[in-house]
Amino acid sequence: HDHQHAEAVVSTQSTGKDPIKYRQYEEAVYRALIDRNNPLPGEGPAKQVVMVVGAGRGPLVRASLNASKRCNIPVKVYAVEKNECALITLRNLFTDPYFCDVTLIDSDMRAWNPPEKADILVSELLGSFSDNELSPECLDGAQRLLKEDGVSIPCEYTSYLAPIMSRRLYNNTNKQSPDNPNENSFHMGYVVRLQNVWVFDKIKACFTFKHPNHDDPIDNSRHISLEFSGPVDSAPMDGPVPMEALLHGFAGYFDAKLYKDVMISIHPDTHSPDMFSWFPMFFPLATPTLVKPGERIVVDFWRVVESTKIWYEWAISEPTPQAIHNNRGKTYWIGLFS
C-alpha cells in the first residue's frame, strides 16, 4: 500500500491549495448560514455553530469564517482534528486574530463529545471515487454532532463509471506484476491522470450517499449492475470510428452536492473549472476484452463493508465473463479504524 499511501499524501497536500474547491465550500456555508438565519424580532442574527470535522491545515475553517463575514452572521467554529502534524499547523494558524471565534478540538470526530450541537457540519473526506476515503463511515459517525435540523456540507455525493481502452494504463498496471497477469496489481483501484485513454461509452452513475443519513439501520454496502455498449458513435483521439474496442477497465469519477446547487465535480461533463484536487480512478481488468461496436458490456461493482475495513469488488459478465476482481478484499481495502 506504500504506492497508494504516497498518492494519498500528495493528493492531500494539493487539495489544501485548491482555490476553486474552497470557493465552492465558502459559497455553500454562506448560503446555509443565510437559510438558517432566523433572528427574533428586533434582534440581530443569532450566532451559529459550525463544526469542521477533519480540519486538516485549516482551509475549511477559513472558508467558514469568510462566509460568516460575507453574510454578517456570527459563527462559533469548532475545528476537529486528530492528526498531530495538522494540529501543530492549526495551533500556529489560530494565533491570528482572524480565528478568534475558533476552538481547536484534538480528537477523532467519531469520539468527541461536544458541549453543544452544530448547525452546520463541514467536511472534506471525499476521494476520487467519492466514497473511497470513508466519507460515509466518518460522517455517519459524526452526524450525532448535528442538530436535528442541521446541515451537512457536503450533503450528497455520487460515484460514476465508464468503460475505457488504454494500452498505457494496462501496461503500467501489468508492469507491477509481470510474471502473472492475475497477480495483485489488477485487483486494486488507482488514482490516475487519464491521458491516452478512450472512453467509448457514456458515463453512468454508480453509488450515491446522502448526509445526514437517517436510515435505520445504516448500511453503506452497495451493489450495482451497469450496462454499457461497445463503440457506436465515438472514436479514440478524433480518429475514424473503429470496428471494435479493447476494454482495459473502467474510469471512476465523482460529483458532490455541497449545499443545494453548489457542486464540486470531476465528472468530465460537469468538471468544476480549474479544480485540481482529484484525478479520476482506474479499475483495471486482468484480461482485456474485445468489444464489438454496440456489443453489450455488463459490469457489477460492489462496495463491501465489514467491521474493520471496506473494499470494492468488480467483475464483467458480458461480453466475456471474468472472475471477480479483488474478491473478499484480498488485495485492496481501506481500514476503518486507523
Active site residues: 124, 133
From the list 9, 16, 48, 15, the residue with the least C-alpha distance to 31 is: 48
Angstrom CA distances, 11 to 24, 128, 142, 256, 276, stand at: 18, 10, 23, 18, 9
Whether a cis peptide bond, with omega within 30° of 0, leads into 268 is no
Rounded-to-integer distance, Cα 320 and Cα 286, Å: 12
Rounded-to-integer distance, Cα 166 and Cα 238, Å: 15
Q: 105: buried, middle or exposed (CB in 10 Å: 19+, 13-18, 0-12)?
A: buried
Q: Are strands 75-81 and 48-53 parallel, antiparallel or unpaired?
A: parallel
Strand partners, 102: 77
Angstrom CA distances, 182 to 164, 215, 310, 325, stand at: 19, 38, 22, 9
Rounded-to-integer distance, Cα 38 and Cα 218, Å: 32
Q: What angle do CA 85, 264, 89 make, to 5 degrees?
A: 15
C-alpha cell of residue 305: 463493508
Say how many C-beta atoms besides its own lie within 10 A of residue 280's C-beta: 23
